[in-house]
Amino acid sequence: MNRPDDYLNADYSVSSWLLTTDHKRIAILYLLSITLFFFVGGAAAVLFRLELMTPPGDLVGPETYNKLFTMHGVVMVFLFLIPSIPAVLGNFLLPMMIGARDLAFPKLNLLSWYLFILGSAVATTAILMGGLDTGWTFYTPYSTMFAHTNVVTGVLGVFIVGFSSILTGLNFIVTTHKMRAPGLTWFRLPLFVWALYATSLIQVLATPVLGITLLLLVAERGLGIGIFDPAIGGDPLLFQHLFWFYSHPAVYIMILPGMGVVSEIITCFSRKRIFGYPFIAFSSLAIAALGFLVWGHHMFVSGQSAYAGMVFSILSFLVAIPSAIKVFNWTATLYRGSISWQTPMLYALGFIGLFTLGGMTGLVLATLAVDIHVHDTYFVVAHFHYIMVGGMVMAYLGGIHFWWPKMTGKLYSEWWGRVSAAVIFIGFNLTFFPQFVLGYLGMPRRYHAYPDEFQVLNVLSTAGASILGAGYLLPFVYLLLSLKYGRDAGRNPWQATGLEWRTPSPPPTENFARVPEVREEAYAYGAEEAP
């Protein structure tokens, strides 16, 4: 072994991993756990997409079908998307990007991971006991008084996972405030840090509401205390208000960090300073703030008053503006750059395109009269998959490819990287674009069987899903192979700016031998290339 000490080979014992407080090792623990859940959630999707190949419900029964889409939603949202970028890339990079040796509370960080594992173990138990069938939205009174499945266990799992999310957010906020290297002012921070900061605010402020709501649900289901079921004096719409008060902001937990990743990648692969730095930074905060005020757009046909509907509609239009600002600024960053089409960049450009389409169809849903028609149809399903899969998963994969050399010290096969990015882009659009059409035609979501006239579009969607599935397996394979066969990456294979690239790859446990001092703004491309 002629490799110098780094965080990976510092100690090989199992306990050195399970008791680590090194943010980089914790990031790897998260990476392994959420990758597992990604494939679990994906497997459920494969099964119900197969079921939907034909109009009658013939492959699995209705109860099984309902459990499959519930499992897909719960696992993907709570056990994959929410922790994805923050807990993996954020954990790994935040301290290094700000020139720190670790997060502010390293032990708390480890506790977050254990809470995540405990919560997901409880949720997995619910699945193994036979699953639950409420949908990831747990609407009452179905979930409290009518479902005959393992609702309480599943909900408690999600409740526990919520605490892991809160603690991570708290840790990031304190770290960003207190641990920046000398000279690293707020406006010199990489935009990924701004995005993580905004995300953390949401995690800390919104997640407790989810916890309370889920406990109330358990109180009604388990103890018969009337909160949501009108038969015992409750109000079912109260649940929707509380649930979406968390779950709309949660959408931004699931997209803001992706936006941060894209800012890093776009600048590096076009060798340019980001266009409109303060606008991108503040739009993250604007999204976090406005995101708290739009939850009622999920309730336009619920019986909520028309005036409430109008207020939530206009606010939903407003929250789209900061996102539009980001998209324009990213695009302007490309102008007169020196653009290389490497794998992370392909993902980032794919993100911008798909996120734009997802955002624009969000406006369709925010438009009151049109939402009456498309609410609870496949149009909604397509819309949020464009944001969460086309957006967040693309950004996550882009980020993994961008920082893989830093995390592992190895380079993956660039050719396979580009191929899989292309396969995922094509598979994704083939899966979800037909669902927009299906939705406007009126196919409701969560339908186990459907009328014949919807079949052609459903078959297209399933065909796309199989391409998408193959696309996701590819990186899994070649990234693993790169660990053994990949070339050494060196400190900075992309010639990127940013403090994380100034340390060896993989970084030593303490990140920096000497705490760096920052004298320039972020993305100072050009300095090192100028003759």
Partner 1 sequence: MPTQAPLFPEQASTMAGRIDALFFALLGVAGFFTALIFGLILVFAIRYRRRPGRSSVFRTREPLWMELTWTAVPLAIAVGIFIWGAALYVEAARPPAGALQVFVVGKQWMWKIQHPEGPREINELHVPVGRPIRLTLASEDVIHSFYVPAFRMKQDAVPGRTTVAWFEATRPGVHRLFCAEYCGAGHSAMTGRVVVMEPREYERWLEGGGRGETIEASGRRLAERLGCLTCHVPGGGDRGPDLVGLFGKEVRLRDGTARIADEAYVRESILDPAAKITAGYEPLMPTYQGQIGEEDMLRILAWLKSLNEQKPEFRSQKPE
Which of Cu ion, partner 1, none does residue 128 bind to, with CB < 5 to 8 Å depending on kind? none
**To which residue do tokens 């997060």 refer?**
103
CB closer to Cu ion, 112 vs 207:
207
Alpha-carbon separation of residue 145 from 65, 68, 73 (angstroms): 20, 21, 21
How far apart, in whole angstroms, are the C-alpha atoms of residue 123 and residue 311? 36
Token digits of residue 450: 């459907």
DSSP designation for 488: B
Which of Cu ion, partner 1, none does residue 146 bind to, with CB < 5 to 8 Å depending on kind? partner 1
CB of 389 to partner 1, least distance (A): 17
How far apart, in whole angstroms, are the C-alpha atoms of residue 105 and residue 438? 48
DSSP reduced 3-state for 451 = coil
DSSP reduced 3-state for 410 = strand
CB closer to partner 1, 445 vs 502:
445
Token digits of residue 42: 């994906």
Measured in degrees and rounded to the nearest 5, phi and psi for residue 488 equal -65, 140
How far apart, in whole angstroms, are the C-alpha atoms of residue 22 and residue 59? 47
- Residue of 185, 369, 513, 514 interacting with partner 1 (CB under 8 A): 369
Which of partner 1, Cu ion, none does residue 334 bind to, with CB < 5 to 8 Å depending on kind? partner 1
The residue with its CB nearest to Cu ion is: 248
CB of 448 to Cu ion, least distance (A): 13
Site residues (CB under 5 A) for Cu ion, limited to 216-275: 248
CB of 346 to partner 1, least distance (A): 10
- Residue of 10, 437, 481, 515 interacting with partner 1 (CB under 8 A): 437
CB closer to partner 1, 163 vs 425:
425
CB of 294 to Cu ion, least distance (A): 6
Stretch of 242-250, 268-276, 400-408, 498-506 lying at the interface with partner 1 (CB under 8 A): 268-276
Phi-psi region of 135 (alpha: psi -120 to 50; beta: other; left: phi over 0): left
Token digits of residue 250: 């949660």
How far apart, in whole angstroms, are the C-alpha atoms of residue 380 and residue 454? 16
Which of Cu ion, partner 1, none does residue 6 bind to, with CB < 5 to 8 Å depending on kind? none
Token digits of residue 123: 């949720």
CB closer to partner 1, 225 vs 325:
325
Which of Cu ion, partner 1, none does residue 282 bind to, with CB < 5 to 8 Å depending on kind? none
Q: Is omega for the bond preceding 444 within 30 degrees of 0, making it cis?
A: no
479-505 CB burial, b ≥16 within 10 A, e <16: beebeeebeebeebbbebbbbbbbbbb
CB of 253 to Cu ion, least distance (A): 12
- Residue of 17, 416, 433, 447 interacting with partner 1 (CB under 8 A): 447
CB of 262 to partner 1, least distance (A): 12
- Residue of 106, 130, 442, 508 interacting with partner 1 (CB under 8 A): 442
Q: Give the type of residue at 379.
A: F
Site residues (CB under 8 A) for partner 1, limited to 491-530: 525-526, 529
The CA dihedral of 374, 377, 379, 380, to the nearest 10 degrees, is 90
Contact call for residue 187 and partner 1 (CB under 8 A): no
Token digits of residue 367: 């438009």
Which of Cu ion, partner 1, none does residue 248 bind to, with CB < 5 to 8 Å depending on kind? Cu ion
CB closer to partner 1, 285 vs 325:
325
Dihedral sign from CA coordinates of 266, 272, 277, 279: negative
How far apart, in whole angstroms, are the C-alpha atoms of residue 41 and residue 80? 9
CB closer to partner 1, 106 vs 353:
353
CB closer to Cu ion, 72 vs 248:
248
Site residues (CB under 8 A) for partner 1, limited to 312-341: 313-314, 317-318, 320-321, 324-325, 327-329, 331-332, 334-341
- Residue of 107, 177, 373, 519 interacting with partner 1 (CB under 8 A): 373
CB of 440 to partner 1, least distance (A): 7
CB closer to Cu ion, 248 vs 401:
248
Which of Cu ion, partner 1, none does residue 303 bind to, with CB < 5 to 8 Å depending on kind? partner 1
Q: What is the DSSP string of 365-383?
A: HHSHHHHHHHTTBHHHHHH
CB closer to partner 1, 375 vs 385:
375
Token digits of residue 38: 């990604």
- Residue of 135, 475, 506, 516 interacting with partner 1 (CB under 8 A): 135
Residue ranges of alpha helices (H) inside 413-499 are 414-441, 455-485
DSSP designation for 444: B
Q: Give the type of residue at 224.
A: G
How far apart, in whole angstroms, are the C-alpha atoms of residue 334 and residue 270? 6
Contact call for residue 146 and partner 1 (CB under 8 A): yes
CB closer to Cu ion, 221 vs 248:
248
Contact call for residue 276 and partner 1 (CB under 8 A): yes
How far apart, in whole angstroms, are the C-alpha atoms of residue 531 and residue 528? 8
- Residue of 105, 142, 416, 433 interacting with partner 1 (CB under 8 A): 142
CB closer to partner 1, 229 vs 500:
229
DSSP reduced 3-state for 496 = coil
Binding site for Cu ion (CB under 5 A): 248
